[in-house]
Amino acid sequence: MKSMKIWPAAMELALLLGLLVAGGCGRGDQASKQPPPREPETTPDVQAKIPEVVVKVRPSHEHAAFRERVAERTAMVSKQIAQRAFAQPVKDQKVLEAMRMVPRHVFVPQRYQGQAYADRPLQIGYGQTISQPYIVGYMTELLELDEESKVLEIGTGSGYQAAVAAELAGRVYSIEIIKALGESGRRRLKELGYKNVQVKVADGYYGWPEKGPFEAIIVTAASSHIPGPLIEQLKPGGRLVIPLGSAWRAQELVLLSKGADGTITSRGVMGVRFVPMVGKAQE
Ligand code: SAH
């Protein structure tokens, strides 16, 4: 089995160090741009607020990795995600198809290749993990993405969740606080041909105001509270998913919705265990 050589030796070393830190992330308890629109006859002030046009740049799927380990991916989706004992299965066919498509093994370090399609999170170095496939599917389904969606992800990690979102959404903006992970995630996504994903290294607490507002925001690290800037950058009608709770303890996956009139509603959907959101969130 041949896979992409995008796990440099430094990442392997970091991974080894990361092994000392126990825990999992994202585990269940159980463009090409179109020309800008013609300027309408409005005042300059209003023109300045015309939102970015979201145009779907379909992943080409030309990379050989998309044709590797297909049977394992198909089995992963049908046995762990589309069917699930003691938890809600993922029903959205588009999400299931996206997960059948994305070559998860490319996002998993060499030493864990054998478990790339297993029902569990895996270490990716720096004490971080790639989430359990089921959780990725479940969170993606909650976002209700379509080709018009602009998505913000906090916690790029391996880039796997960003790739799944990129299969469904128009554009994905992903922020990672650990430079080496952000850079390797960006490189991996680019090599696989995801032209509709942009990764930046920063503290995701502040969101990415220049690119917002977003139809969907997904936070893949646990925080004690929902960062205010993320709520602000959520479009009316938009949805935000975040694990809330303290590090390594019981956390709850929360779905927040912003109504057309800006009203916020939220509900807990599942018990989860994610790595902590660091930086400003912990002050
Ligand atoms: N979505 C990832 C898994 C995320 S693990 C995947 O599919 O592989 C959580 C990630 O969030 C880690 O990489 C961690 O470094 C990152 N993170 C933690 N706090 C953050 C913050 N304040 N801003 C951005 N990223 C953060």
More confident residue, 192 or 38: 192
Domain boundaries, the chain: 27-282
Task: Give the binding-site residues of ligand 1, using a 6 Å CB cut-off.
Answer: 25-26, 128-131, 154-155, 157-158, 160-161, 175-178, 181, 203-205, 220-221, 275, 277-279, 281
Mean pLDDT, residues 91-112 taken together: 98
Q: Omega into 213 within 30° of 0, i.e. cis? A: yes
Residue to substitute in 108, 154, 274 for testing ligand 1 pocket (most ligand atoms within 8 angstroms of CB): 154
Render pLDDT for 169-218 as a digit per residue (tens, 0 to 9). Answer: 999 999 999 999 999 999 999 999 999 999 999 999 999 999 999 999 99
Given a cut of 50, is residue 113 above it in pLDDT? yes
| 41 CA distance to ligand 1 middle (Å) | 43
Specify the CATH superfamily of domain 27-282: Vaccinia Virus protein VP39 (3.40.50.150)
Residues 188 and 164 sit within 8 Å (Cβ to Cβ): no
Residues 194 and 173 sit within 8 Å (Cβ to Cβ): no
Side-chain-side CA neighbours of residue 119 (13 Å): 14
DSSP H/E element including 253: strand 251-258
Residue to substitute in 134, 177, 280 for testing ligand 1 pocket (most ligand atoms within 8 angstroms of CB): 177
Q: What is the mean pLDDT of the chain?
A: 88
Mean pLDDT, residues 125-144 taken together: 98
| Ligand 1 atom closest to residue 25's alpha carbon, by position in its atom list | 5
In this structure, the residue with its CA closest to atom 10 of ligand 1 is 155
207 closest CA partner among 189, 234, 186: 234
| 281 CA distance to ligand 1 middle (Å) | 12
What was the pLDDT predicted at 250? Answer: 87
Render pLDDT for 163-176 as a digit per residue (tens, 0 to 9). Answer: 999 999 999 999 99
> Which residues are bridge partners to 243 per DSSP?
253
